[in-house]
Chain A
Amino acid sequence: MTERLRFYQTGSFAVRNRLLPVVDASVQSDPGRANAITSGHRACQGCGEALGARYALDAAMRASGGRMVAVNATGCLEVFSTPYPETSWQIPWMHSLFGNAAAVASGVAAALRVTGRDDVRVVAQAGDGGTVDIGLGPLSGMFERNDDVLFICYDNEAYMNTGVQRSGATPPAARTMTTPAVGPHPGAPFGQGKDLPRIAMAHEIPYVATATVADLRDLEDKVTTAMSIRGARYLHVLVPCPLGWGSASRDTVRVARLATESGLFPVFEAHDGEVTSVTPIRRRVPVEDYLRIQKRYAHLFGEPPATGVIAHIQATADRNIRRYRIEEAPV
């Protein structure tokens, strides 16, 4: 076959490509997908976390053949999915506390192993607060012991469930309720925050990856890869939050896309502590394109605009692009 026949219109960008063989179909295109989290949950309109969770867990369900349990930290995902008397989960699921998801998952994995049920896989999930801040101790312990747990962080870059406060994952200049857009240096300070994927890599666990809700196939591939490995695995998924970011509910995927296309959120995967692949930027955009559509950065675009701050953020994007070599793909 000629080179040309490999062209499939939307390639793997859309959820489904009817021109591709069924074996290549995404999990989300399958009418029989697990819908691990189903309708009726109380997430805000356009919630990236609700979307990311279904993407990730449905993929994990397919990879595990439905043999899976999930552990959830406190946070939006937990609160909007399980207010008594209703739950949106269709898989075995457990919530214990805000900071202990990794440890609970370690316990679940240990129990499954010791009771001879280690065909059942364990996925732990938490928001960025539950991951990079309050949950970091148990998470680091889970990593270090190399427990057989896939930990997924749904990063919406703040404590959303409690009404948008700064977390260790809140980016510089973003306004939150605890880093308001007032004073000489409005928004979250520069020079702070944690880069959890790299911290995870430093544990030399078998698998670390980042993904976003803007690239479903990539996300599903990474979950699938993660599920094919035993031991501690970490997946960091960027999930825009319309409420906290002040973006339009319809723009959730777009914002995530701009985060990667600007270089602010590098998408890569690492095996045993080494970066093994990166998702190249397809159509690079200046960070301004990303910042402008979010009210949490509105103070950067006043009269006069905070060009210095924007340049500083741009420098971060440029650094990421250098660090992960995610320049635009050669045409």
Chain B
Amino acid sequence: MREQIEGSQAVARTVAACRPQVVCAYPISPQTHIVETLSRLVMSQQLGGCEYLNVDSEFAAMSAAIGASAAGARTYTATASQGLLYMVEAVYNASGLGLPIVMTVANRAIGAPINIWNDHSDAMSQRDSGWIQMYAEDNQHAVDLHVMAYRLAEEVSLPVMVCMDGFILTHAVEEVDLPEQTQVDAFLPPFEPRQILDPDDPVSIGAMVGPEAFLEVRYLAHQRQMQALETIPRIAAEFAAATGRQRDGLVTPYRLEDADVAVVALGSVLGTLKDAVDALRVRGVNAGVLGITSFRPFPLAAVRAALGSVGRIVVLEKTLAVGIGGVLSSNIRTAMADTGTPTTTVIAGLGGRPILQASLEQMIVDAHRGRSADLSFLDLNTGLVERELARTRASRRSGPAAENMLRDAMADAVPESGARG
């Protein structure tokens, strides 16, 4: 059913169609609209057979989800940013216990300084948590990923995080083809837990494992994600068959066949990137885009196959691994290690900084000409940071950096962004 609808509501309605049995909710922007919508659906009994728990923190949300899932219920929660960090301990625990929880992360920056706008720092911090991570390019993608996430999670007994850019997707109203209930029901069988707390067949879940077997436990977790690399395309194909919407599952190549330069990215920026590539191709720059949908497990082979023929790679990231640079980049470099393809990293869009098509085109052109630095920051106000760096060099006590920079930024009249949070 096609509808003009806000991304959060589209996701909520889709999650509802997956018939979750326990939803654990805790507010944080920009995820709030999702759980609000679900609450309305549960309380109005449009979504039956569902317990909606208003918990006391994200830590409790994930913990309740762990309990619910272990007791055999299909479970959902959503969070972002500080909330994701607040639940981290439980996030790792859920995957360690092999519980097929699905969680939406409405990607948002992490403070300090507190910032409610989009980037990928939150989800990226959990890249090694053992969860499967899928990144949505647009709201249709987000909707489809949620249905596939449940299938995948329950099939491989691992939790799945569906990442969608905060505000950019969650709050965007656009046309989305919402999966019909019948389609979802046909695609997603009822939850059959692999392990369950059941008096008729008792088990102890969550043993303490020492050095004698911990490595093996971790190895097996890795293998499970590796197996998911095969499961994901299969599920995507089945999803396509059920809904008519083609999804690759692991990666989304765009005009890469003859590309000299490829830009690799995650999430909603892929739309702007494709526009930039289209524009550049008109100007004779043969560029392409590789969208990564499955960041964990990371599809090394699919990436290698997609980028095999390009001359240069630019990895565009909405995260900064402070002290080294890119996060996705190092994964891409691992994939391309044998090819020697020059790869550079561009950090962009942190804390909601708009990524302009013009800037992206310039970035691609620079790369095409081989003029890009290993690590660069798109649209960085260099004057501002230079002044601050000079100040710190001059005196060890230069005052609060954020305040200084804000003063400088005001002077530079960079457009101010309101804060909510």
Contacts and interface: CB of A to CB of B under 8 A. Distances in A.
Given A95-B206, A107-B69, A111-B22, A141 B93 contact: no
Contacts of A19: none
Contacts, number: 165
A84 B96 CA distance: 15
Contacts of B75: 107, 111
B202 A103 contact: no
B301 interface: no
A138 B60 contact: yes
A93 B64 contact: no
A145 interface: yes
B209 A111 contact: no
Interface stretch (A112-120, A125-133, A162-170, A231-239): A112-120
Interface in A64-111: 66-69, 71-72, 78-79, 82-85, 87, 89-97, 99-100, 102-111
Contact of B59 (A85, A100, A113, A115): A100
B306 to A, nearest CB: 39
Contact of A92 (B24, B199, B213): B199
Interface stretch (B47-55, B320-328, B365-373, B384-392): B47-55
Contact of B199 (A66, A79, A140): A66
B232 interface: no
B199 A68 contact: yes
A91 B54 contact: no
A172 interface: no
B302 interface: no
B387 to A, nearest CB: 43
Contact of B68 (A93, A111, A120): A111
Interface in B164-204: 197-199, 201-204
Contacts of A72: 206
B65 A107 contact: yes
Residue of B51, B90, B203 with most partner-chain A CB within 10 A: B51
B70 interface: yes
A91 B49 CA distance: 27
Interface size class of B (residues with CB under 8 A): 35 or more
B311 interface: no
A286 interface: no
A80 B96 CA distance: 20
Interface string A250-280: 0000000000000000000000000000000
A137 interface: yes
B208 A84 contact: yes
A141 B73 contact: no
B22 to A, nearest CB: 5
Interface of A: 66-69, 71-72, 78-79, 82-85, 87, 89-97, 99-100, 102-115, 120, 137-138, 140-141, 144-145
Which 6 A-B residue pairs are closest in the complex by CB-CB distance? A107-B67, A141-B56, A107-B64, A95-B206, A111-B73, A111-B71
22 contacts: A69-B71, A78-B208, A93-B197, A93-B203, A94-B67, A94-B206, A100-B63, A102-B60, A104-B66, A106-B60, A107-B22, A107-B63, A107-B68, A107-B70, A110-B22, A110-B64, A111-B67, A111-B70, A111-B75, A115-B71, A137-B56, A138-B56
Interface of B: 21-22, 24, 49-51, 53-57, 59-61, 63-73, 75, 89-90, 93, 97, 197-199, 201-210, 212-213
